[in-house]
Amino acid sequence: MLEAENKRKRVLLDIKSIVENLRLPIVVVGAGARILIFDNRYNIDGRATNDLDFAVQVRSWSDFQTLNASMTQTSNPCFRPTNIQHRFIHISTDIEVDIVPFGDIGEPNQEIQWSNGIKMSVVGFNEAFSTAESIAIEDIEFKVINLPSLIVLKLIAWNDRKATKDLEDIYFI
């Protein structure tokens, strides 16, 4: 368990460094957020997850592409791309990372459309970001969605993809 926690911490620190350089607001969402704000806080083990999910506030696809390049195309990249536009693999830990853009990019109907034509709802991400909690890891502050926002986003995700893991997380909380 400690090894998994150290790996998650490494990913969080690397992501934080990249988005700070780009001055992009980011928040931890998904099951990784559940672990940080629920499981760890109450010292209980919920559904294991092998990935981390983030939402990054951007104005345009250009901003998202700049983030992508900063993660994967530098002289010493921390991440490698996958076949899925918003999914990356953290090179030193092999942890899968999903990054969903939200903000102006989702206007006017709080929806984004990936280059492969797949549409994704980003309803609730602005509110989740504005109500996020700050937690410190190695004296570095991270925004993590709060429990009510986590539940709302899990319900929206379940409505979009019908993945039972979303309902399992809600039931667990």
Tell me: the pLDDT tens digits for 15-33?
999 999 999 999 999 877 8
- The pLDDT tens digits of the residues spanning 59-99 come to 999 999 999 999 999 888 999 999 999 999 999 999 999 99
Task: Reply yes or no on whether the pLDDT at 49 is more than 80.
Answer: no
Instruction: Write down the pLDDT at residue 48.
Output: 63
Dist. CA 166–CA 173, nearest whole Å: 11
Instruction: Write down the pLDDT at residue 44.
Output: 73
99 sits in which H/E element: strand 96-102
The answer for residues whose C-beta is within 8 angstroms of residue 97's C-beta and 6 or more apart is 11, 15, 51, 52, 53, 54, 79, 87, 88, 89, 90
Q: Is 54 exposed, middle or buried (CB count within 10 Å of its CB: 0-12, 13-18, 19+)?
A: buried
Coil vs helix vs strand at 26:
strand
Task: Reply yes or no on whether the pLDDT at 105 is more than 70.
Answer: yes
On average, the pLDDT of the chain sits at 88
Instruction: Write down the pLDDT at residue 167.
Output: 84
Determine if residue 69 is left, alpha or beta; phi over 0 gives left, psi from -120 to 50 gives alpha, anything else beta.
Answer: alpha
Averaged over 51-56, what is the pLDDT?
92
